[in-house]
Structure 1
Amino acid sequence: MKNYLKLMRVHHYLKNVLIFLPLVFSQNLFNIDLLSKTIFGFFSFSILSSIVYVINDIQDVEKDRRHSTKCKRPIASGAVSIKEAYVLAVFIAIVGIAFNYLACGLNIKAWLFVIMYVGFNFAYSMGFKNMPIMDITILVSGFLFRVLYGSAITSINVSNWLYLTVIAMSFYLGLGKRRNELKTEGSKSRKVLKYYNHDFLDKNMYMCLGLTIVFYSLWCVDPTTIERYPQNNLVWTVPLVMIICMKYSLNVEGESDGDPVSVLLKDKVLIALTLLYIIIVLLIIYV
């Protein structure tokens, strides 16, 4: 069971918390109907995203076996056979579809976002991961689809400023990941890395970081936001967001592999700052 969960990249399910963003910021977190839909949606999106990881590991098994760290992956190490991996992919596809039906019924828009997410990721695995800029853009689309999906299953509109914040943040995270892959493993570890250099990745990474803070700040002072939260205290979360971004950047500049989930989970201070931000936002919105 442990190897199956490792193959499914369960720790990456943390990214799917973005699905809750429309629910939280619309002050509907305690709406039982919408909350249950979002929870089912979270599990659906998480499980279906695992299919991509499983199929990708099947395709890359020979390459992974020659890699210093990827050789420890379940299929590459032999802990899970290719036949077992295919059976797992079919099983989790059925479970994921069932959860998605519970989340949105026959909501065409929600189904479309799920299909597009899976389709984009298969396109990534089939060759787009070797195309500069396109590789990062597809990774960014995954974060955006999570928010769009959360909006679709709850029928809650999301501010364009928040969408832009998610896009800019995702580019920042994606560029940071490529930066550290190039730094720690060199251009031979991934074909697309031969097209990148440290200067390009650094400049664009921090440009996107700056845009993330700008877009988030504009959302905080947007008239629609102020109308929804009359005390306008959200603007005081901007300095905390800046601190979180600086701490994350400090880790990325260090010896991390640049993977967003790993960077977060390996730093207790960053976890504490993120939890503090979540608590403050919940207090501002719901108290």
Structure 2
Amino acid sequence: MAGSGSKPIPRVQALGPVRAIGALVRTMRPRQWVKNVFVFAPLVFDEKLLQPLPLARTILGFLILCLLSGAVYVFNDLQDLEKDRQHPRKRRRPLPAGELDPRVAWGAAFVLPAALAYPAFALDPFFALIAYVYWGLNLAYSLWLKHRVILDVLTLASGYVLRVAAGVPLVRVERFSPWLYLCTLLLALFIGFAKRRQEILLLGENARNHRAILEEYTVRFLDEMMGVVMAATIVAYSLYTFSAPNLPSNHAMMLTIPFVLYGVFRYLYLIHVRGETAPPDELVLRDRPLLLTVILWGMAAIAILYLF
């Protein structure tokens, strides 16, 4: 029975197989799988996007990472089940809403990674090693690291770098610049700090009840950290555009810097002036100018790499 003043715990609904599978898939958060596109970075920036074999191997690696990350989301929701029931948005997820049986979720959280082990190693042993380091790191995050200030955001950022690293053995890279690892890390740190900021603003006084680590952060501190990280991102990306060995010798990649600048300034405008509280990965899909900027940057970078 729920305690005094608390909301009743939803009963697990008796769903048919099709609806139960649908609830499990939603718990795996397919909308978040777009983050795994970072595995394509070595393919694109090593100029092998048009080669069928590296492209096929990277697509398979992307699918494996999507399923592994889905298993991580299921495990994370199981760990946060009680707190998610108090969250204004997360309480609608299948587990806290009672649409998915926790026993089914526990099975999927570990059976799925076990089933993916053979395909991952068959694709490439080094890819499999990095993919399962990513999986293990995320389990450690759910159990311990998310309760450690700053380490929680660094762990999330490391996940993005591991996605990029996972793509390297799939394409047998020859000219992939290490600058892209640094740019990925800095961008991911920005996303992590921005998410913490969003949670504090959205949850208000109940922030600590949902996630204890939020007590260690303030909006002002996060704004300062985001400023530092974004300045470093702009500098690192600018250095990459004229110092990476695989880029055109005429430094045409520097033409993409304005897209990065506008994207940064547009996001800061949205959160500081427009008061947006959506996470960056959701906001980029909702705000048309920001989404258009990302698309134009990608098109410009590919054109410069493959046509110059």
TM class by smaller structure? over 0.9
1:150 corresponds, among 158, 167, 171, to 167
Identity rate of aligned residues, in percent? 31
Contact 1:252–1:263 (8 Å) recurs in 2: no
Question: What is the CA-CA distance between 1:264 and the residue it aligns to?
Answer: 1.2
The CA deviation at 1:178 is: 0.7
Q: String of CA shifts for 1:240-285, please: whole Å, max 9, x gaps.
A: 1111111122233344344232111111221111111111111111
Report the CA distance between 1:52 and its aligned residue.
1.0
Report the Cα offset of residue 90 of structure 1.
4.3
TM-score (ref. length: structure 1): 0.92
Question: Does 2:38 align with 1:21?
Answer: no
* Paired letter, 1:240: F
Q: Is the CA contact (8 Å cut-off) linking 1:221 and 1:235 kept in structure 2?
A: yes
More moved, 244-253 vs 169-178? 244-253
* Higher Rg of the two aligned structures: 2
SS at structure 2 position matched to 1:75: coil
SS of equivalent residue, structure 1 residue 224: coil
- Residue pair 1:64, 1:71 contacting (<8 A) in 2 also: yes
Give the 5 Å matches for 1:118-137. Answer: 118-137=135-154
Q: Secondary structure of 2:294's partner?
A: helix
**What residue ranges of structure 2 are gaps of 5+ in the alignment?**
1-20
Deviates more, 1:265-274 or 1:141-150: 265-274
| Candidates 223, 237, 240, aligned match of 2:259 | 240
**CA positional deviation for 1:86:** 2.5
User: Corresponding residue for 2:239?
Assistant: 218
CA deviation vs aligned residue, 1:164-198 (integer Å, no higher than 9, x gap): 11111111111111112112213323110111112
Match for 1:233: what amino acid? A
1:192 maps to 2:194: no
Aligned equivalents of 1:237, 1:101: Cα separation in 2:
37
SS at match of 1:66: coil
1:93 match: 113
Equivalent-residue separation in structure 1 for 2:269 and 2:254 (angstroms)? 24
Q: Deviations over 1:185-242 (max 9, x none)?
A: 13323110111112211111111001111101101010514xx413321101001111
Q: Deviations over 1:1-24 (max 9, x none)?
A: 442221001111111111000110
Q: Please name the residue that 2:291 is paired with.
A: 271
Number of residue pairs the alignment of both structures matches: 282
SS at match of 1:79: coil
How far the C-alpha of 1:159 sits from its partner, in A, is: 1.6
Query: Whole-Å Cα distance in 2 between the matches of residues 223 and 144 of structure 1?
Result: 18
Q: 1:12 aligns with which of 32, 37, 41?
A: 32
Instruction: Using the TM superposition, give the Cα deviation of residue 88 of structure 1 relative to its aligned residue in structure 2, in angstroms.
Output: 2.9
* 2:5 alignment partner in structure 1: none
Residue 277 of structure 2 is aligned to residue 260 of structure 1: no
CA contact (8 A) 1:18 1:146 kept: yes
Alignment-derived partner of residue 34 in structure 1: 54
Contact 1:37-1:102 at 8 Å conserved across structures? no
Does the 8 Å contact 2:153/2:193 carry over to 1?
Answer: yes
